[in-house]
């Protein structure tokens, strides 16, 4: 997820604090397994799935907040949906 840097700068907010607040808010979403700010994937050792995201981080290309969905979940604009593999 990419955040719009202009309004953050215009309001003189700390970009890292905004990214962490966005990750904290997103982490409450019932379909997400993890939401982590890019700032927390650098030197720190985040727990669980967030640690796996570290290998996906590219300083020039990655989003501000990285998210992963729970297994068999998809996000759609019309609400929560559960995707099941045939045979499950």
pLDDT of residue 53: 67
Q: For 52-83, what is the HEC assignment?
A: HHHHHCCCCCCCCEEEEECCCEEEECCEEEEC
State the maximum Cα–Cα separation within the chain, in Å, rounded to a whole number: 52
Task: Compute the distance between CA of residue 30 and CA of residue 74 in angstroms, rounded to an integer.
Answer: 11
pLDDT of residue 45: 54
pTM of the entire predicted model: 0.72
pLDDT of residue 72: 85
* pLDDT, block means (10 residues), the chain with 88 residues: 94 97 93 86 60 70 86 70 50
| Domains defined for the chain, CATH in brackets | 5-82 (3.30.1360.150)
Is the sign of the CA dihedral 3, 8, 9, 14 positive or negative?
negative
pLDDT of residue 77: 62
């Amino acid at each position: 997820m990419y955040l719009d840097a202009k309004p953050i700068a215009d309001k003189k907010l700390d970009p890292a604090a905004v990214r962490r607040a966005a990750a904290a808010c997103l982490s409450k979403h019932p379909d997400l397994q993890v939401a982590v700010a890019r700032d927390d994937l650098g030197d720190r050792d985040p727990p669980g799935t967030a640690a796996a995201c570290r290998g996906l981080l590219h300083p020039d290309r990655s989003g501000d907040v990285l998210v992963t969905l729970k297994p068999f979940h998809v996000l759609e604009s019309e609400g929560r949906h559960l995707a099941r593999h045939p045979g499950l």
